[in-house]
Structures are given as structure tokens and as C-alpha cells.
Amino acid sequence: MGKKKKKEVCAPLALWLITFSDLMTLLLTFFVLLLTMASMDNAILTTVTLTTADLGLLDKRGSGRISVKERMVIDLMEKPWEVLDKKDRIKDLLFPDDVLPEEIDKSDLDKNLDVLAKPDGVALVFTDGILFSPGTSELSGKGQFLISRLVPMMTHTVAPINVAGYTDTSDNTETPLQLSGDRALAVLAYLVDLGVPNKRFSLSAYGGNFPVVNERGFPVESPKNRRVEILLKTARPIGGYQ
């Protein structure tokens, strides 16, 4: 009988190579799986971001044409219930120190600008002295600058805007009602000239009614009574704005 041939045993090096190749195959499979999952998560994240943006008040979110500060202002304006705690933050974002011209002092601006929470949104309240020359309804240079700073925030929202004028009896050139209306109209017209759609606006004139400062129920002459309120109606009704 012939001798049986002994089975050839793989050299230790060959066994090591087989194990190594199996390991590399597993690692390659793992990395491909990770890449696939990462791509899927990114697509889902993009979809969620676009969907949530469409639900808000911004019709240009994601366009890349709005700064971080402007987006922060918009986010704050959309939450009227937080205004009492964030009014100084809104002022600083709208009118940072590095953009204020020399003729506008920050402390003077703080005294002549208020941010109020209203049932239907957030109101920016300017006294007449910081927007107009005394006794006139023409925006001053300071007034034009301050109003122009509101345009980016307004053009990136779709909420209705009401501009309301108030005054007192201290001016003798016009009746209080007429002067309050002319001032509100001057602010509205300037915003429209800067690109805010006209259809977004409504106009109100209250003359000496609804004074902020009064004595025993009667209005008194005060800069806080001579004011223009710009109300961004971000507290949307159910169903949203059309």
C-alpha cells in the first residue's frame, strides 16, 4: 500500500493573513454603514430644519441673507411673553454701540425707547424727541437712522405691523390728533420706502388719548405721552397670517 499523503498545514503567516483580511472586511463594512447612517441623519436634519422654519413667522429663513443678531431679534420678537425679561437685550441687538452715530447717546436712547409686551405682539415705543424735530411730523436724521435699523427684522417676518401715534396738548401748530396721525404716517412711509411691504401696515392716531403719564386720570405734558408705537403682531391667531 502506498503511503497516504499528509495534509498540508497552512503556515502560521497564512493564517494570520486570513484573519487580518476578515478584520479589514468587517471594518470596511462598518465604515460604509457609518457613512450611510450619517448621510441619512443629515437628510433628516435638513428636512426638520426646513419644516420648522416654514411654521414660523419668517418667510426667508435659511436664505443666508440675515445676520445672527437679526435672527436673534426676530426670535425674541416672536415671544411676547419673554419681553419683560429681554427688553434690554432687544435694544442692544437692534442698536449696538458700534453702529450708533455720535449724535445718539446710548443712555439717551434707553430713556426714549421702550419695548412693551402687548396682547397681540411686541411694541417698540419711541418718544417724539428722538424721532422728530419739536412740533413737526418730519423724521429727523436721528429718527431716520433709528427707524432704518428695524427694516431687516421686519423684512424677514410676515406679521402685520401697526404704527400708532400719540401726543399731548403741548404743541400749538396742529391739533393733537392730527399731529399724532402725521407722525405715525411719516414712520410708516419711511419703512415702506426702505422696502417693507405696504400691505403689512395699519395706521392709528390717538392724539392725547391713552397717556402713559397722567395725574389723577388727566394727561400731562410728557415726552412719554408724545410717542410712536410700532407694534409687530407676532402673537399669531390660530391658523396664522395669510
Does the residue 61 lie in any domain? no
pLDDT for 125? 96
Does the residue 97 lie in any domain? yes
Residues 6 or more apart in contact with residue 174 via CB below 8 angstroms: 137, 182
**Same domain (yes/no): 50, 130:** no
**Same domain (yes/no): 192, 78:** yes
Does the residue 23 lie in any domain? yes
CATH code at 177?
3.30.1330.60
pLDDT for 233? 92
Domain end among 55, 80, 105 = 55
Nearest CA to 121 among 52, 190, 57? 57
The range of the structural domain enclosing residue 134 comes to 68-232
**Same domain (yes/no): 125, 151:** yes
Does the residue 81 lie in any domain? yes
Pairing of strands 113-118, 121-127: antiparallel
Taking 70 as the pLDDT cut, the residues of the chain under it are: 1-20, 35-65, 169-174, 214-221, 236-242
Does the residue 63 lie in any domain? no
**Same domain (yes/no): 207, 168:** yes
Distances (CA, A) of 135 to 124, 131, 140, 221: 21, 11, 12, 13
pLDDT for 49? 36
**Same domain (yes/no): 50, 152:** no
pLDDT for 204? 95
Does the residue 120 lie in any domain? yes
Does the residue 2 lie in any domain? no
- Backbone φ, ψ for residue 114 (5° rounding): -125, 155
How many structural domains compose the chain?
Answer: 2
**Same domain (yes/no): 23, 95:** no
**Same domain (yes/no): 119, 179:** yes
The pTM (predicted TM-score) of the whole model is 0.69
Does the residue 95 lie in any domain? yes
**Same domain (yes/no): 127, 205:** yes
**Same domain (yes/no): 164, 140:** yes
Domain end among 5, 31, 55 = 55
Return d(Cα 48, Cα 43) in angstroms, integer. 9
